[in-house]
Structure 1
Amino acid sequence: MASTEFESAVAAVKGLTEDPGNDVKLKLYALYKQVTEGDVSGKRPGFTDFVGRAKYDAWADLKGTSAADAEAQYIAIVQDLTAP
């Protein structure tokens, strides 16, 4: 179950005024999915679905990462993005 700190970090991402870039967004997506759903499941999207494939691969790279570790990484990234 996600912590209040994690939920606050998720809300903070939605309120970002600057685009953190695709690499950071992809990492945040993968960590979020790992926290909320666990290891990736299902088939990898086809080669014509570039975005879906990138998301799947980023999430698959976290296979075996505990929800607590993924949550801590997510929070750390968001803190770096929102630091003054």
Structure 2
Amino acid sequence: MSDLQARFDQAQIDVKQLSERPSNMTLLRLYALFKQGSEGDAHGDKPGMTDFVGRYKFEAWETLKGTGQDEAKEKYIALVEELRSGKAA
């Protein structure tokens, strides 16, 4: 396992142990970076208009199209570290 993958895995654990729940926009950003880092560009059908949460999540992921998986992992790790230190909300 690469060092980047190990740090990405640890960030996934760390994000679940935050003392405060991040804002909805930050949660969307975390979701999108996680999906891009794990699976690459968005794929599959976009959720329908009545599935508000699913649609927002898919659209957030879709905005990262073309971002490399390693870059997304690095950004995810950095965002989790900011949240842990209290620098992001």
Q: Following TM superposition, where does structure 1 have runs of at least 4 consecutive aligned residues deviating by more than 2 angstroms?
A: none
When the two chains are superposed, the root-mean-square deviation of aligned CA atoms in Å is 1.3
1:37 pairs with 2:29: no
TM-score (norm: length of structure 2) = 0.89
Unaligned runs of 5+ in 1: none
Q: Percent identity?
A: 48
* From 28, 31, 34, the counterpart of 2:30: 28
Amino acid of the structure 1 residue aligned with 2:26 = V
Unaligned residue ranges in structure 2 (runs of 5+): none
User: Of 78, 81, 87, which residue of structure 2 is paired with 1:79?
Assistant: 81
TM-score for the superposition, normalised by structure 1: 0.94
How many residues get paired? Answer: 84
